[in-house]
Structure 1
């Protein structure tokens, strides 16, 4: 039996639940969970904000632990391996994207907490392909958020071939943004943090920002006109997109990783003259996650975490719901 924490409906507290996972499929491994990040996506699924939740629902998709069982077809992992598991737990392994190593774009991919039980549990299962070995030297306690928040901001750096000489900016210094600052700084970029919270200015500089701009100050936005090659937006609120587009240099890109809840209003005319680009991306493939983990270890990049005992998961959820976590919550089993 697997011991877990589950919710039985939207806006309900987590409660203990035991379930029998059945026979381990041939292509899967079972992981003994040591730490599990608490992501805003867990909260969205708990509250059925996306209309995809099925109850009872066991959240948790930023898992760090050890392999304890392997299916008969598993070859790359063995019992005792330290591993991590992120947003996806399985892929079709048949489509063009899986065959080309871009598993995160597989239309038949299986999210860890949609239609299956996640990592708020003593054990969790996933396909061999989706489970990523942890590199030596990584900090286990803070590694979990790299498997969702970390890869979400690292993936576009790789996909769009951001150069160390680029001038880049990060909108929002939170769970995603504080990691984006670290990755882009370590990449060698000149990094600006857009933030409306003056209390975060010094911390943003400590995380790698060379410059701070108040995103609510029109004059400061105007002072950065035509400056940035790449802007990554990590927030999930409506902003003055035209103002940010004006800060892009010719051929610059405004890239979204935060899920804006409403359609964004952007004038095509404001993009034509400078040949600007707008894009968005999900989490990365297992191969890109592995690359990110090694990069993080090499450059000592770590999520800033608040650790909660497993039996205080509801306290972690409520602090996240109130926006008071700095900057990622992690459950310790």
Structure 2
């Protein structure tokens, strides 16, 4: 099969991903399915792994590897123990590729927190390729009405957005700020609106603010400098009830904390140090990480029921380097999707 293989870490401008012909995956476990990939979303976390930003977190754990962790494709072969899936069926695969299934997290529906979780595109070869295998337990069926390129972003951006909104303790008519309206952020706007919240989109890039408006944000504010931003926010909205942060910047994290009322909640969907935090304001800082298999089913259901807007553009698999470079410099409107 064809795959974009990462053999060395380095700036994406140096094209570290190389198109290779490698052996096609084979079913090794009785409950595995072999999937012909039709679409794989491009995520900023993959960029951090490729460029070596996350080596201190052990990502990627080994080279060579194949990135890509939001995948939709068609099953071409099933293992002898597979009961609930069939050849010809379309399924999606999230970053959660597997877990131990017997620890306290797995037993309580929080398998994404399992210490032995397998991560697509990191501990397991990912979706920048033509085929992949996955256990039927970690495959999510896709409705026939959903195009693969539309559905793929749901499997990382979608579930991350959904979980972040839930973590913000949404309540109708409360105001939430989405800091970083891009591939994940624009879906966060939509999930927050489904909860009946007033949504303020925040971004540096005017094009991203336009995306926020397109998917239903009630207001948008461009970030330039903290004092100026806070002045505008207080004038137009007052302080926020909660904030969700997807911009990978300590300055933006600090801004979000200062934008929220005393007793409010700030949800972090990025890795960042917390430079300043006043404990006497009784604010809550909460991290969020993808979601469970049950969450993934809910995300697909909500997207279908509400005809959610997923703004994406498709590119051929071999253009992965240039697409990631465009993502790095904010030249992608929302989500990019690779098609083998």
Normalised by the length of structure 1, the TM-score is 0.90
Unaligned runs of 5+ in 1: none
Say if 2:152 is the partner of 1:144: yes
Deviations 1:199-253 (A, max 9, x none): 4444322211111223332411443686322210111012165553343234310
Q: Is the 8 A contact 1:62 1:86 kept in 2?
A: yes
Over 3 Å counting, the alpha-carbon distance change for 1:203 and 1:301 in structure 2 is same
**Counterparts of 1:143-182 in structure 2 under 5 Å?**
143-182=151-190
Partner of 1:232: 244
Give the CA deviation at 1:22: 4.5
Deviation (angstroms), 1:159:
4.3
1:90·1:111 contact (CA, 8 Å) conserved in 2?
yes
C-alpha deviation, 1:299, in angstroms: 1.6
Query: What secondary structure sits across from 1:258 in the alignment?
Result: coil
Deviation of the 1:309 alpha carbon:
1.6
Confirm whether residue 97 of structure 1 aligns to residue 101 of structure 2: no
How much is the aligned-residue C-alpha RMSD, in angstroms? 2.1
User: Match of 1:24, SS?
Assistant: coil
Q: Report the more deviating stretch, 289-298 or 152-161.
A: 152-161
| Moved >6 Å (runs of 4+) | none
Question: 2:84 is matched with which residue?
Answer: 76
Q: Is 1:267 the counterpart of 2:267 in the alignment?
A: no
Alignment of 1:4 with 2:3, yes or no, is: yes
> Alignment partner for residue 199 of structure 2, among 191, 198, 207?
191
Q: Is 2:43 the counterpart of 1:33?
A: no
Q: Secondary structure at the match of 2:251?
A: coil
The separation in 1 between residues aligned to 2:143 and 2:129, in whole angstroms, is: 23
Q: How many residues align?
A: 327
- Taking the TM superposition and a 5 Å limit, the aligned residue runs for 1:50-89 are 50-51=54-55, 52-53=59-60, 54-89=62-97
Partner of 2:338: 331
Change (3 A) 1:98 1:186: same
Q: Unmatched 5+ residue regions in structure 2?
A: 11-15
Q: Which residue of 2 aligns with 1:304?
A: 311
Q: TM-score scaled to structure 2, two decimals?
A: 0.89
* Map of 1:110 onto structure 2: 118
More off after superposition, 105-114 vs 190-199: 190-199
Distance in 1 separating the partners of 2:336 and 2:255:
32
